[in-house]
Structure 1
Amino acid sequence: MDSWVFWFSFLLFQSMVQYPQPVGDGLDKVTRLRMEARAKLQEQEKIRLEQEVEQLALMQSGASWGDLLWSALQPWQVWAFAGLLVLLLTIWFMWRKRSREAKISVKKEKKKEKEEEEEDETWVYDLRWLLDERIQWPVQDLQTGCSRTMALIDNFISVIGHALTGTFYPVLQQAIGFGSAFEGWTAREKEVAYHVLIPLTPPLGHTFHLERDTDQQKPGRNFRVRVELECSCPREHQGVNLLCFLHHPDVVRRRTRQPNLLDSLCTGFYLDVQKIVIWFCTLLRASWRHLPQSRSWHLVLLASTRSCNLRLNNDQESFLVKVLFGVRRHTSDIFITSRPQGAQTPSTMWPETYAVAETKFFRHMARQMPQDSSHLKCLQLLACVLVRKDFSIHSVKTIIMHLLNTVPVSRWHRRYFLLQLSDALEQLRLSLEEEHLEHFILGNQRLPEEIRLPQDVQRAKPPNLFHGLVQDPAAHSQAMQAYLDLQRCLARVLAYGHF
């Protein structure tokens, strides 16, 4: 109400100023000038008063709207609004606190990861120092030795092949390296032995038939190689003029002056291991001077009944080559060989061997493993410790092969060396306690496809390599004692670096 009264008074005053009372014409010039100046001042005052009135009206209008809004709100709405404001402020402060905690946590995690990486690097460095500098590994270049051995045997087979042309002796096929040296590890020996297998195939007019030995008293799977003559008459070969040992043996002997295989290297109808060894060593001795290796190496033939053992030496080094002979089973990686099976193996008995398949498995795994793999170091360390112990190195090798076939390849990195060594020892302990260790090749359905097995080998029941411990309690006690000695010896090696 006061604002409207004020506004009405202002308008009345303005009308009086705009419409002044008239004056007479007789006013002088000075009076007219004063009146004009006074009119201008009143106009300015009018403008100022209008501006103040407008500002006052705006302020009163704002205050009235605020009062109206405040009066419209109920008390519970005011408290709800205040509570919402407090809640929002609380959430904001909590978010700020968690953000700071998250940043601190990330910094701590990064610091922890960095410390762990530094710790891993230190541990790996210590392990590398242990494996490369502390432990005195055998000093041999196995790759060079394998290449040198295969070159020697290949040269010899090439020379002998020309000499045997036109004869009826077994045909020597390309040699196959097998065993620890060709797998990349070796026991702690002064002289490395390189094992080589030379497959034999029948000569013209002859065939080989493998007969499985059914004697269950003999260990392993054993065969005999029955040699039979086959017909090579012209009518059977569509006009080719071939001599037939089967129908005309005397004519063939008289014309070729060569005995057939049954007359030379067999006992009865079966291929004789000892006769083949003597024949091969005689050929090697006679042809040695024709080989390029004879100019830089000295050859010594060592006595053996079922293999041809060669020692080659010069002024700087020496190495041993053990040559075995075998017959391949079908087109597989399984051979029957001349290796001995027990103390008194008959000369016509050829035990089945899986060494070539095992070497092929190690080569396959070498292609899958990380570059800095520890599996060969693990195997070599165990072999070096066992070399003078009453324990089978092949048993430990079998355990390592089983682990290689089950443990992911990434877990064989060098940093896991001690873990894998511990796993191998634990598996050996369990196998000794249970008196059971399965053969790795026989009956194994999880081998790589590139390893070829005959169906009877693939489907066979895996034999127990610790079968002898079941029947001989004394041997089992001795094996357990050897295991305890192995543990102590390994602890000494890891602590002091020598065997």
Structure 2
Amino acid sequence: MAMGLFRVCLVVVTAIVNHPLLFPRENATVPESEEEIIRKMQAHHEKLQLEQLRLEEEVARLAAEKESLAWAEEQGQRPDVHSAWDLWSTLCMILFLAIEVWRQDYQDAPLPECLGGDEDELPALGGSRLQGLALPDMATLARFHERCIRSATADAARTREFMEGFVDDLLEALRSLGSRDTDMEMEDFVGVGSMYENWHVDRPLLCHLFVPFTPPESYRFHPELWCSSRSVPLDLQGYGQIKVARADGDPLGCVCGKTKLGEDMLCLLHGKSDREHGGGHVEDLLCSRESPYLDTMQVMKWFQVALTRAWHRIAHKYEFDLAFGQLDMPGSLKIKFRSGKYMPFILTPVIQYEDSDLYFVSHLPKEPCGGTPASSTDWLLSFAVYERQFLRSKAKALPEGACHLSCLQIASFLLSKQSRLTGPSALSKYHLKTALLHLLLSRRAADWQAAQLDTRLQELLRFLEKSLLEKKLCHFFVGNRKVPETLGLPEAIRRAEPLNLFRPFVLQRTLYRRTLDSFYEMLRNAPALISEYSLHLPSDHASLSPKSVVS
């Protein structure tokens, strides 16, 4: 038996010592092709199978010896030497188990070459794949920002004022069509996004407005966060569901049969045709089929119908037309003037989470979590209001004329130009803003002086490169306990597991490679692009003068 235990221990120790994560070989070379990697993996797999067969034979033989020992003990034969060996084997198994647990923790951690530590220790751009990359100097960046970005967004305040006045009138008309007893109630809109955070770059200027709504008095919404369930899949982190229930605790039912509705009334659960037929069809419910949870598609259809009726009510007051914008972006609208100009904006119906500034959003122009929900009952949780509040609170502590928003604007400009050149990639402006928020939290206020624009821009790009190489960019609020408590973020969000916005890159290799190539090409094009735009405005940009949108 001693020899058998020795062989088992020898095999296990050999496997541990030869594990590449525990004891990497200094002189190991990288295979030249994927075929070479696959061939070596297959050979290693066959070797492991042979080792497994040997271990199974040893275990079977040890089991037979154990049975013989048990029989010997029943016969009164109790050799003391075997007790010592049993104790030794137990200690060995505990040791091997501890090593295996440590190995798993080591394997889950980021690779050594991807670790960054402090932001000051991040690798410079010259040490990445782009050897010798040098962004323009501070004077060129400042001139570029003044000519191409600040001048193009000079009328942002006037655009917001015009749009907010129109949306106020539109929502007031919408409220006048409904009944508090039978229809949803629209609350005042909330401005979110780059237009309200003062870093918008693209033309035409685009206002994004959240429209919170509440159910009739007979109903209640019960939002359910993903972090309240331990069994939620990874691809549904950041989403939630909205359960509809009667306020009196009765099973979900419709009150339109108990209340006389007008011709223009919109019921929470049924359409007008359903009431005329004396009942409701399941496919017309705002809830999902045979489910008490709100359906995002049904809500958007209801919202679009309500907006159309509201516009028809006030259209005679305006000298322009209102139309729906992009078909793949629900809530996208645009004002069309007689001169041919237009003003786009987005109205998104949202549901507030308890008394916080979190909102469940039916749709966004692009999902910041890097995917699409598996079910239409999954609502994306938006932190847009908290992001705006954090930027405003940070701006009060930063030096006058701080460069943080300028860095974000320049990076966003470069990403937009690259998307037009090679098509959109999985890297979005939301990722740029998330990276900036992380840097704002880790950097001192004095580091964001206007004279350090070039240094901070390079640091932002290095942070993005590091995140792409690691395939890991943590959501700024979810699971981040460094966020100031003064923002009032719900404790359930602070204590949740961190949410990786780059998780799709781990699962989709082609998408990752395309995004990484696009990012490096953007960096290669950045010096020439900034220099060109800082000297003169190209025709496609100069045509967008501050007065070309509102007429």
> Is TM-score (shorter-chain normalized) higher than 0.5?
yes
Q: 1:420 to 1:125 in 2, by over 3 A?
A: closer
2:471 partner amino acid: E
Is 1:380 aligned with 2:409? yes
3-state SS in 1 of match to 2:233: coil
Q: Among residues 280, 284, 287, which one is paired with 1:266 in the alignment?
A: 287
Unaligned runs of 5+ in 1: 1-122, 233-243
Q: Answer whether contact 2:183 2:216 (CA < 8 A) is retained.
A: yes
Larger CA deviation: 281-290 vs 179-188: 281-290
Partner of 1:72: none
CA distance in 2 between partners of 1:170 and 1:461 (Å): 34
2:346 partner amino acid: K
Identity of aligned residues (%): 22
2:393 partner amino acid: H
When the two chains are superposed, the root-mean-square deviation of aligned CA atoms in Å is 3.3
Partner of 2:248: 231
Q: Answer whether contact 1:442 1:458 (CA < 8 A) is retained.
A: yes
Partner of 2:499: 463
Is 1:206 aligned with 2:223? no
1:173 partner amino acid: E
Q: CA deviation at 1:449?
A: 3.9
Matches within 5 A, 1:7-22: none
Q: CA deviation at 1:426?
A: 1.4
Q: CA deviation at 1:461?
A: 2.0
Partner of 1:25: none
3-state SS in 2 of match to 1:283: helix
Q: CA deviation at 1:127?
A: 5.5
Instruction: Write the deviation string for residues 50-90 of structure 1: whole angstroms up to 9, x where unpaired.
Output: xxxxxxxxxxxxxxxxxxxxxxxxxxxxxxxxxxxxxxxxx
Aligned residues: 365
3-state SS in 2 of match to 1:480: helix
Unaligned runs of 5+ in 2: 1-136, 272-285, 420-424, 539-551
CA distance in 1 between partners of 2:352 and 2:383 (Å): 11
Q: 1:469 to 1:344 in 2, by over 3 A?
A: closer
Partner of 2:275: none
Larger CA deviation: 286-295 vs 447-456: 286-295
Q: 1:134 to 1:359 in 2, by over 3 A?
A: closer
Q: Answer whether contact 2:144 2:530 (CA < 8 A) is retained.
A: yes
2:325 partner amino acid: L
Q: 1:366 to 1:154 in 2, by over 3 A?
A: farther
Q: 1:362 to 1:296 in 2, by over 3 A?
A: farther
3-state SS in 2 of match to 1:339: coil
Q: 1:263 to 1:496 in 2, by over 3 A?
A: closer
1:333 partner amino acid: D
Q: CA deviation at 1:489?
A: 1.9
Q: CA deviation at 1:136?
A: 8.8
CA distance in 1 between partners of 2:182 and 2:159 (Å): 33
Partner of 1:427: 463
Is 1:398 aligned with 2:434? yes
Q: 1:270 to 1:432 in 2, by over 3 A?
A: closer
Q: 1:162 to 1:136 in 2, by over 3 A?
A: closer
3-state SS in 1 of match to 2:376: coil
CA distance in 1 between partners of 2:351 and 2:241 (Å): 10
Partner of 1:318: 342
Partner of 2:305: 282
Partner of 1:218: 235
Report which of the two structures shows the higher radius of gyration computed on alpha carbons: 1
Q: CA deviation at 1:139?
A: 4.5
Q: Among residues 177, 185, 189, which one is paired with 1:163 in the alignment?
A: 177
Q: 1:292 to 1:372 in 2, by over 3 A?
A: farther
Partner of 2:65: none
Is 1:482 aligned with 2:488? no
Instruction: Write the deviation string for residues 436-475 of structure 1: whole angstroms up to 9, x where unpaired.
Output: 2211111122334442222211111222222233334444
3-state SS in 1 of match to 2:235: coil
Q: Answer whether contact 1:335 1:353 (CA < 8 A) is retained.
A: yes
Q: Among residues 161, 164, 182, which one is paired with 1:150 in the alignment?
A: 164
Q: 1:166 to 1:334 in 2, by over 3 A?
A: closer
Q: 1:447 to 1:150 in 2, by over 3 A?
A: farther
Q: 1:306 to 1:491 in 2, by over 3 A?
A: closer
Q: 1:464 to 1:344 in 2, by over 3 A?
A: closer
Q: CA deviation at 1:303?
A: 5.7
Q: Answer whether contact 2:138 2:454 (CA < 8 A) is retained.
A: no
Larger CA deviation: 221-230 vs 278-287: 278-287
Instruction: Write the deviation string for residues 244-266 of structure 1: whole angstroms up to 9, x where unpaired.
Output: 99899586235889785334533
Tell me the TM-score normalized by structure 1. Answer: 0.65
CA distance in 2 between partners of 1:250 and 1:155 (Å): 28
Q: CA deviation at 1:163?
A: 2.5
Q: 1:219 to 1:133 in 2, by over 3 A?
A: same
Q: Answer whether contact 1:220 1:351 (CA < 8 A) is retained.
A: no
Q: CA deviation at 1:346?
A: 3.3
Matches within 5 A, 1:235-254: 249=255, 252-253=258-259
Q: Among residues 361, 365, 369, which one is paired with 2:398 in the alignment?
A: 369
Larger CA deviation: 432-441 vs 295-304: 295-304
3-state SS in 2 of match to 1:252: coil
Instruction: Write the deviation string for residues 381-412 of structure 1: whole angstroms up to 9, x where unpaired.
Output: 11111123323222221111111122222322
CA distance in 1 between partners of 2:531 and 2:408 (Å): 18
1:365 partner amino acid: K
3-state SS in 2 of match to 1:322: strand
Q: CA deviation at 1:356?
A: 2.3
CA distance in 1 between partners of 2:167 and 2:246 (Å): 29
CA distance in 1 between partners of 2:411 and 2:525 (Å): 10
Instruction: Write the deviation string for residues 217-239 of structure 1: whole angstroms up to 9, x where unpaired.
Output: 6343222222111239xxxxxxx
Q: 1:442 to 1:493 in 2, by over 3 A?
A: same
Q: 1:382 to 1:306 in 2, by over 3 A?
A: closer
Q: CA deviation at 1:308?
A: 1.8
Partner of 1:335: 359
Q: CA deviation at 1:134?
A: 7.3
Is 1:346 aligned with 2:381? no
CA distance in 2 between partners of 1:187 and 1:483 (Å): 19
Q: Among residues 319, 323, 327, which one is paired with 1:300 in the alignment?
A: 323
Tell me the TM-score normalized by structure 2. Answer: 0.59
Larger CA deviation: 437-446 vs 307-316: 307-316
Q: Answer whether contact 1:245 1:252 (CA < 8 A) is retained.
A: no
CA distance in 1 between partners of 2:207 and 2:254 (Å): 44
